Each structure stands twice: as structure tokens, then as C-alpha cells.
Chains A and B, each alone.
Chain A
Amino acid sequence: MATMTRPASPAAAPGADQAPRRRSRLATFWRFCRQNPLGAVGGFVVIVMILMAALADAVTFYDPTRNNFGAMLEPPGADYWLGTDQYGRDLYSRIVYGARTALMVGFVSAFVGGTLGLILGVASAHFGGRLDLALTGVMDVLMAFPLIILALAMVSIFGTGTFNVIMAITIPFIPRCARVVRSSALAVREMPFIDAARACGFGHVRIILRHMVPNVFAPYLVVMTAAVGQAILLESSLSFLGLGVQEPVPAWGLMLRGGAVEYAESAPWVAIYPGIAISLAVFGFNLFGDALRDWLDPKMKI
């Protein structure tokens, strides 16, 4: 846009309004925490979870997949911080390693689903016409389709396992992100700078990538953050139904499937701790996503 010159008004001298804006990143961070205490809590949970997943080997003392029939359904104590399950596996280790599964499924499916949704949403808004109509129609059908049933069908087609679960969760996310991005992109499309870009003779790809995508990035980020939490929840539901991640991979939903209900009374820790892990993780991502939305675009509704 450098070729477009604008008469510089004397009031808008560059130094005048830029000086107070030059805050350090740390200051911005503190401001974010003060304005959104709940968001800061969410961010803290997310960071703890990432650290847990990254340092799983260093912070646990037992192999999360090793059975130990000498220590079945041990209550929480000094040896097993959160107790053991019906196969004598250490619950604390399984929860820490479970963060890896949850985060991987969450991040990958939210990122891939969100990005595909971003591309489809922007393209749909930019080209309009028949393409828009067709894409919106397909997205409407996918939206009306219950999420868990779509995932169920995908898992039945491709089989269970971590990779297939990611795919099964990604597909329902595409229309959800595409819809939000499309509605923002429709507003961006009417902006004068898009006309200007078109007048400059830029191609579709350049207009979309350089001028539209950066302007719909805020909703994209917010939807994606919310999708991570949703993906973790959906993964645990699928695993709980026996349709997701398979034993012996440590996954939170799967831990609730095994003996959690059977032993609920005699060994409540088996049922309680994995559930707390899921809830905290989703809680963290949701709070963080909410704060991100308030911060980036307070008027946005999702």
C-alpha cells in the first residue's frame, strides 16, 4: 500500500500518539492479568498443563502403562499420590501423561479444523455468489449433524486410535469456525481498503492472504482457543465411550471408562481425579479464550 499517499495531517505527528503506546510486553501482560483475573487463572492452568505434558518424564515416578497387581486400588498416599487403579497403575503418572494425549488431540484438531475453517470462511465471503451458497449449505448440514454422531461415524469408518480421533474431532470443527470467520469476513469485504487493493490489481490470493486474513484473525484465534477445550472434552467423551484413544495409552476419558463406575464406592479416587483433570483443562482453555475475546474484540459474540 506504499504507493497510496495520503496528505499527512499536522495533528497526527508520528511521535505524539506512539510514545504512550510503547509499553513493554511484560506491562501488557500485567495489564491483561489485572483486567481479566479469570483469564489469568485460565492462562495459568494452560501453562501448567503444557509444562506437565512437556516434563512428564521428569515429574512422575512410575511408568503410566505398567500394571502392578501388588498395588491394586491403593488409596492416595505417600507412594501413590493419587492412588492406583484396578490394574495397579499409578493415577498421578497416568494423569500427567494424559495431559500429553489431551493437549495433542486438542491443539492439532483445533488448529487444523480452525485453519481449514478460516480458509473456507474467508474464501466463501470473498468470492460470494454460488461458491458462498454452496459452502454455506454444506456447513449448515454439518452444523445440524450432532457433533458426537459425526465423530462416532468417523471413528467407525477409520477405526479407533489417537490419529483417527483427531480426524474425527477436526471435521465437526471446520463448519463452526468457518461460520464465525465468514461473518467477520463479510464485514471486512465491504471495507474501502479491500476496494483499494482490488483497484491496485492485486490477485485473489494476495487480497485474501494479505488483506482479509489479518483482519479476521481475532475471531479465528478466539474460536480456536475455545475449540481446544471443546476438543479435549470431545476426546474424553469418545474415549469414555470406548470409541477414542485405546488402552494402554493414558487418556483421561479412558481412565473414567475402566473401573471408575464399578469401583466408584470403594475407590472413589479412580472416578474423581481424571474428571478433575478434564474439567480443569477445559476450564482453563475456556477462561483463557473468554479473556482473549474480551481483549481482542469485546463486541464479538460466540
Chain B
Amino acid sequence: MLLYVVKRFLLMIPTLFGAAVLVFLLMRAIPGDACMLRMATGGGSIDPQVLQGCRAELGTDQPMIVQFLIFLKGLVTLDFGKSMWSGRPIMQEVGLRFELSLQVAIMATLTAIALAIPLGTISAVRQNTWIDYVVRAFSIAGVAMPSFWLGILIILGILIASKAIWGTPWMPPITYVPLWVDPMTNLSMLIWPALATGYRYSAVATRMTRSAMLEVLREDYVRTARAKGLFQKLIVRRHALRNALLPVVTVIGIEFAFLMGGLVVTEQVFNLNGLGKLFVESVQNHDYNMTQALVMLVVGIFAITNLFIDILYGWLDPRIRYT
């Protein structure tokens, strides 16, 4: 088992390296750089000497290979340097947003699980009845609806509902406070984006639960359980669902990993200052250091989540043994 985990960690290195090369080249392929952008916002013509000085300060005047080696060194030592835009240490900038994004991701995942497992199960048990059709339509609608539109609708709904109840429109708070400082404010701000993304992500998991359940319900041991006169509820919960959960765990895990970097649009709608917003800003500001750090963070989370899922597999299904 330990050997397997070590092996998997070593296998992550080529993926991480590939992602590092890709983001490094992509960022440098974007026309312009942080210095040009900084000067251009001031207006007027650009003094070549100042430009040179700025590039020397940021280290973008060095040969590409040197820049890449510095980036790799930062990657190994987990020190990505300073943001090329704000000048603050990257770890500090990321840390500020990480908390918010992680909380939204966890809340959205919980929403997705709470929706997907009961809905998927009932849809499979009552296959080809109207309940099944409604659940399937509901889940496909979740995939089809853009999360930003769902966000707009939620905001609209809050406005209309609050006006109808209290007479004055109420909007979720805009400034982030950590959960343990003021749980009410925190939750009343983050529950909406979590619901919007959670519904969307529950859709895929619901479909996965349904198809896995359908497969398991046709297994021999389910027929045996039925033949010995077990209640339907018990069969579904104890025999079928447990065995159907495996692929569902994968889907939910992978989605969780994607949520960390994929909240770009939702954050825009709800005006949240999370990792997604930082991502867009850093690409637009040509902030090489920041984008590289963020991409490596997201790819790293993705790889580790995948490993975690595989370990969870072995725990959920004793038949699976890793060597």
C-alpha cells in the first residue's frame, strides 16, 4: 500500500512537469508583459530605460531557460516569489483567496452529494416512471444551465423575495469574513454561489449514481436478497447503494478538484474575491509568477485528489488491493 502511494506520487512528477512547461510557455506566448502593461496604464510614451529597469526588477529580462529554472526551483521549494502586479508575496495573495474558494468548493460538493445520491437512487429504483423522467430532466437541466445564469437568477430571486417579504431589497454581503469569525455573515454570502455550483455539479453525480445503481440492482446478490424476503429499503440501502457508490465517489472527487480552479465565472457573478478571479486577473496582468503558481496549485490539487480517490477505493471496496 505504502509502496503504491509512493509510486503514484512519483508518477505525478511528469504531469506536474508537463503542466509547468505548458503554463510557462503559454504565459510567455501572450503578447506584451507586465512592465508594458504597467507603463501603458500611466499613459504617454514608454521610456525604454524605465522599461528595462522594470524588466530587470521582475527578472523577465533573463533568458527563458533561466526563468524556467527559477520557476522550477520555486516549485520544488514551494516559494513562488512575488506577484509581478501587486508586488506582494504570492503565498500571501493566494492564501487570502484560497480560504474562500475552498469553502465554496466544500459547500458546493456537499450540496451536490445531498442532491445526487437520493435523487440518483430513487431514479434508478423507479426506472422509467415519471419520477425517473423528472429526476433525469432535472439533472440534465443542471448540466445545461450555465452556472453564471443560475447565479443571476438566484440574485434576482433574492431581490424579488426580499422585497416581497421585508419591503426593502436585501443583497448578500460583499466582504468576506471567515466562517469562525461571523458564521451568519459568512454563510449568507457563500451559500448562494455554493448552491448555484452545487446544483450544476450534482447533475453529473446524479446521472452516475443512477446508472451505477441500475447496474447493481441487476446483480445476483440483489436478487438473492429479494428472494430471501428482505425489505426493498434495506436492499437498496445496504446492498445496492454501497456497491454503487464507487464510481460516484470518483465523479464527486474529480469535480471537487475542478471546482478549486473552475469557479471563475461564478465568482464573477457573485462578485467574490476568490482564486478564479485572481486567475483571470493574473492572466490579464501578465503576472507570470502568479499564474504559474495558481496553475501548479490547481493541477497539484487535481493529482492529489485523484490519488486520494484511488486510496478511498481500496477502503470502500475490500476486493481492490494495491501492490
Contact = CB atoms under 8 A, between A and B. Distances in A.
B156 A268 contact: yes
Contacts of B311: none
Contacts of A290: 140
Contact of B18 (A141, A264, A281): A141
A147 to B, nearest CB: 7
B258 A264 contact: no
Contacts of A153: 23, 26-27, 30, 283
B153 A275 contact: yes
Contact of B262 (A147, A265, A283): A147
B144 A146 contact: no
B144 A256 contact: no
Contact of A146 (B141, B156, B262): B262
A260 B146 contact: no
B211 A301 contact: yes
A286 interface: yes
Contacts of B31: 157
B interface SS class: helix
Contact of A256 (B26, B152, B261): B152
A261 B269 contact: yes
A83 to B, nearest CB: 15
Contacts of B140: 38, 283, 286-287, 290
Given A148-B264, A153-B27, A240 B146 contact: yes
B265 interface: yes
Given A144-B302, A153-B283, A157-B29, A275 B152 contact: yes
Contacts of A148: 262, 264-265
Interface in B181-220: 211
A228 interface: no
Q: How large is the interface on B (under 10, 10 to 19, 20 to 34, 35 or more residues)?
A: 35 or more
A272 B169 CA distance: 19
A236 B144 contact: no
Nearest to B155: A264
B260 to A, nearest CB: 9
A280 B143 CA distance: 11
B102 interface: no
Nearest to A153: B26
A137 B282 CA distance: 27
Given A233-B146, A241-B280, A149 B295 contact: yes
A260 B153 CA distance: 10
B145 interface: yes
B197 to A, nearest CB: 13
A165 interface: no
B127 interface: no
A82 B279 CA distance: 36
A301 B279 CA distance: 32
Interface in A124-174: 137-138, 140-142, 144-149, 152-153, 156-157
Interface string B276-302: 000110011000000000010011001
A246 interface: no
Nearest to B258: A146
A264 B156 CA distance: 6
A145 B283 contact: no
A147 B255 CA distance: 12
Interface in A217-274: 229, 233, 236-237, 240-241, 253, 256, 260-261, 264-265, 268, 271-272, 274
Contacts of B23: 145, 153
Nearest to A138: B18
A278 interface: yes
Contacts of B261: 146, 149
A279 interface: yes
Contact of B279 (A147, A149, A274): A149
Contact of A279 (B22, B149, B211, B264): B149
A286 to B, nearest CB: 5
Contacts of A37: 133
B245 interface: no
Contact of B265 (A138, A237, A265, A282): A237
B137 interface: yes
Interface in B246-276: 258, 261-262, 264-265, 268-269
Interface of B: 14-15, 18-19, 22-23, 26-27, 29-31, 133, 136-137, 140-141, 143-146, 148-149, 152-153, 155-156, 159-160, 169, 211, 258, 261-262, 264-265, 268-269, 279-280, 283-284, 295, 298-299, 302-303
Given A38-B140, A275-B153, A282-B145, 19 more contacts: A38-B137, A137-B14, A138-B18, A140-B15, A141-B19, A144-B299, A145-B295, A145-B299, A149-B295, A153-B23, A156-B284, A229-B144, A237-B146, A256-B152, A265-B160, A275-B146, A278-B149, A283-B144, A290-B140
9 contacts: A141-B15, A141-B299, A142-B22, A144-B303, A145-B19, A149-B279, A229-B143, A260-B152, A261-B269
- The 5 A-B pairs at the shortest CB distance, nearest first, are namely A275-B149, A141-B18, A282-B144, A283-B144, A146-B261
